Copies of this chain bind each other. A is one copy, B any other.
């Protein structure tokens, strides 16, 4: 069995997103259609926080498994982008707290993790374990949901602005940044995966990793929907 040609492998990666990316989840569709109550939006922000919080954790795990310095020099930007820096502060995690405030959640509520559902926790913890224990190639491939993220982020900003006028627009900085950052991250990770997966087994592992990551994002929404419901 020969490896799928690069263009066909890329098509297969994109097909995973077309089938399984969480933009198709009922809770997500309802969010973008303006059908969520304030409590449901807050529930989503509080649960998604647990994912945000663990992004630098899984990225540090992958960083330590990368095969060379040149790849680390690229990957470390993800951690700096999410954590911010000692000199300048900032970072995606800080922007997520700003979003939380804009929807009426205190920093303390987020920090306490009291709204984080068990299903969210299991999914995110599985993602961290995956990053820690898998070879770097499928671990990097699991990040390729970023291929699908920029469109979703743009649509989300529009939807939140239009459908939830009670949310302070200043709180949406996280999503504004992700439009650019997700595209840049995918741009650097995609060639590693396309060139690194040289046989059918490695390509299959990368596709499975991307499906797994879609399942993680989907399960967070399942848990959120189960706890807070959809609509009034």
Residues of A within 8 A of B (CB): 56-61, 63-64, 69, 72-74, 76-77, 79-80, 83-86, 91, 93, 132
Closest 5 CB pairs of A and B: A60-B64, A60-B63, A61-B64, A73-B86, A69-B83
Given A56-B69, A69-B83, A83-B69, the answer on whether A132 and B64 have CB atoms closer than 8 Å is: yes
Contact B76 A80 (CB under 8 A): yes
Copies in the complex: 2
Best-buried of A58, A60, A69, A79 by chain B (most CB within 10 Å):
A60
Q: What CA separation (Å) do A77 and B87 show in the bound complex?
A: 11
Contact A74 B61 (CB under 8 A): no
**A61 cross-chain contacts in B, Cβ below 8 A:** 60-61, 64
Q: What CA separation (Å) do A28 and B203 show in the bound complex?
A: 48
Contact A72 B60 (CB under 8 A): yes
From B56, B60, B76, B85, give the contact of A83 (CB < 8 A): B76
- Binding site of A, secondary structure by majority: helix, strand, loop or mixed? helix
**A76 cross-chain contacts in B, Cβ below 8 A:** 76, 79-80, 83
Q: What CA separation (Å) do A87 and B41 show in the bound complex?
A: 39
Best-buried of A64, A72, A76, A80 by chain B (most CB within 10 Å):
A64
A1 to chain B, nearest CB (A): 33
What are 10 A-to-B residue pairs whose CB atoms are below 8 Å? Answer: A59-B64, A60-B63, A63-B79, A69-B84, A69-B91, A73-B84, A73-B86, A74-B86, A76-B83, A132-B132
Q: What CA separation (Å) do A199 and B84 show in the bound complex?
A: 32
Q: Closest B residue to A75 by CB, please name it.
A: B60
Q: Closest B residue to A89 by CB, please name it.
A: B73
**A132 cross-chain contacts in B, Cβ below 8 A:** 64, 132
Given A56-B72, A64-B57, A72-B56, the answer on whether A86 and B77 have CB atoms closer than 8 Å is: yes
Q: What CA separation (Å) do A73 and B63 show in the bound complex?
A: 15
17 additional contacts, CB 8 Å, given A72-B79, A76-B83? A56-B64, A56-B69, A56-B72, A58-B64, A60-B60, A60-B64, A60-B72, A63-B63, A63-B64, A64-B64, A69-B84, A69-B91, A73-B83, A73-B84, A74-B86, A76-B80, A132-B132
